[in-house]
Every structure is written in structure tokens, then in C-alpha cells.
């Protein structure tokens, strides 16, 4: 039986945010994270150490304030840790998003218990082909994001993924925080009911039945495997 924790990627049934163009216009590259060198980043929350709960910055634009209000209204977070916009600067390696679990073991345990809870919004970019999901049985999936939503969810602690190529017009909103389990389950259930029968929309941990059919990401996809990839 498939449960929510078996899901590595799924579109999320949420209304579209109406100021995506403004988010791109207001984007200002501020840093390149040491743990994600392929992306330029603009944070919308104050920086906090060790995955601590953070507050909105004081210098946000109208569109940036609006997306935080949207998140508070629609997403199942009780507290926000990191809301940021990623813009590609080069093709990255295969990775899992919770980079350093040892820095906040309590949050890591909480996120892992409530997976999938890695909510992402495609602000601008392709709906299929730029993102690859690597399943636990080494199948490479390039899932689709249907036209009726800009949101998807991955397992923040489990989903190995990467961009398939460099694209300079791709902007992704990255959301991380403490989860309301009931609201998260309701949103996941609603989304799975809507998208489970859409071809290539939901990716599960195990997509293949026969070991002989396994694909090897480093050989068949031309991707780089990040040797830091671990499940601490």
C-alpha cells in the first residue's frame, strides 16, 4: 500500500500566486550557499543559524511580502525556517535538500516524520524536463507539473534530485519550516486524489520491479552524484 511517505514528488493542489512576474523582477542575488553552489539565492526571512525559526526581513518588496502572506494562508507550516528564491547559475549535482541534519536534529526528525513536506513553487521555468527525481531503486524520473498549479512537494529529507541542465530563466521558491501534521495530511490527500492518475505527475520511492532494469544516474543521465549525499 502506498502511503504519503512513499511519495518523492507530487504536484500540490494550491491556487496560483498572482505576482510571479513581480517576484522575478524584484529578485536580487544576495549569496551563493556553500551547500548549493549551483544556485544564486535571495532570502525572504532573516538569516538564522542551525535551522532556527526566522522572521520576515524588514526590506521586502510588495511581491515578496505577498508571497509570505500567501504561504501563511495556504501552506501547512506552523513556523518558518527558510523561505528563499533560487536562481540557477550552473547545473548542479544530485542532492537532498536537508543538507546538515546534525545542526537541528529535532527539526530533521519532525520533517522526516511529516514527509513529504518540502514545498516548492515554480515562479518561472519549464513544467517538465528541467528537474530529475532519482528513486530509491535508481530510476530517473522527469515529472510533470500540471498547468493548473505552480506548486509541488518533495521529501525534504529523502528526495534525491537535480536539474537536468543549466537554464538561466528558472526561478524556484524554496520553503522550509515546522509542519502542522493535520493540515499537511489534508493538503497531501487532496493533492494525491487530484493528481494520482495524471501521467508522470507523482513519483514514488520505488518505480521499478526488476533489478535488471535499474538505471544508473551517473552513467545514463550524464549527472554528477554528490558524494556528500547521505541520510544522517
Over residues 22-38, the pLDDT tens digits come to 999 999 987 655 555 66
Q: How far apart are CA 89 and CA 100, in angstroms?
A: 22
Higher per-residue confidence, 70 vs 221: 70
- Percent of the chain residues past pLDDT 90, beyond the cut: 75
Give the CA count within 13 Å in the CB-facing half-sphere of 118.
21
Q: Which residue has the cell 509542519?
A: 179
Q: What is the pTM of this model?
A: 0.87
3-class DSSP state of 96: coil
For the residues 103-110, what does the mean pLDDT come to? 98
- What pLDDT, on a 0 to 100 scale, did the predictor assign at position 208? 66
Tell which residue, 119, 146, 109, has the closest CA to residue 231: 109
Instruction: Give dist(CA 138, CA 208) in Å, integer.
Output: 9
pLDDT (tens digit per residue) in 152-198: 999 999 999 999 998 889 999 999 999 999 999 999 999 999 999 99
pLDDT of residue 9: 98
Instruction: Supply the pLDDT for residue 35.
Output: 53
The ranges assigned to domains in the chain are 4-220
How high does pLDDT run on average in the chain?
A: 88
What's the average model confidence in pLDDT over 92-118? 95
CATH number of 4-220: 2.60.120
What is the side-by-side order of every strand in the sheet holding 140-141?
140-141, 131-134, 160-163
Amino acid at each position: 500500500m502506498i502511503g504519503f511517505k512513499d511519495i518523492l514528488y507530487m504536484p500540490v493542489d494550491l491556487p496560483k500566486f498572482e505576482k510571479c512576474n513581480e517576484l522575478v523582477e524584484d529578485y536580487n542575488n544576495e549569496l551563493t550557499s556553500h551547500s548549493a553552489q549551483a544556485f544564486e539565492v535571495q532570502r525572504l526571512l532573516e538569516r538564522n543559524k542551525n535551522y532556527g525559526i526566522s522572521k520576515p526581513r524588514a526590506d521586502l518588496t510588495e511581491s515578496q511580502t505577498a508571497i509570505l502572506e500567501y504561504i501563511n494562508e495556504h501552506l501547512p507550516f506552523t513556523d518558518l525556517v527558510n523561505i528563499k528564491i533560487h536562481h540557477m547559475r550552473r547545473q548542479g549535482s544530485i542532492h537532498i535538500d536537508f543538507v546538515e541534519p546534525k545542526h537541528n536534529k529535532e527539526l530533521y526528525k519532525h520533517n522526516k516524520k511529516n514527509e513529504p513536506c518540502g514545498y516548492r513553487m515554480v515562479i518561472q521555468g519549464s513544467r517538465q524536463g528541467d528537474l530529475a527525481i532519482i528513486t530509491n531503486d535508481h530510476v530517473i524520473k522527469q515529472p510533470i507539473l500540471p498547468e493548473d498549479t505552480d506548486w509541488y512537494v518533495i521529501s525534504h529529507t529523502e528526495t534525491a534530485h537535480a536539474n537536468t541542465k543549466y537554464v538561466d530563466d528558472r526561478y524556484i521558491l524554496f520553503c522550509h519550516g515546522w509542519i502542522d501534521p493535520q493540515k499537511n495530511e489534508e493538503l497531501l490527500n487532496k493533492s494525491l486524489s487530484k493528481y494520482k492518475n495524471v501521467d508522470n505527475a507523482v513519483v514514488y520511492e520505488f518505480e521499478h520491479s526488476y533489478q535488471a532494469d535499474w538505471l544508473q544516474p551517473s552513467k545514463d543521465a550524464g549527472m554528477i552524484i554528490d558524494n556528500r549525499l547521505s541520510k544522517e
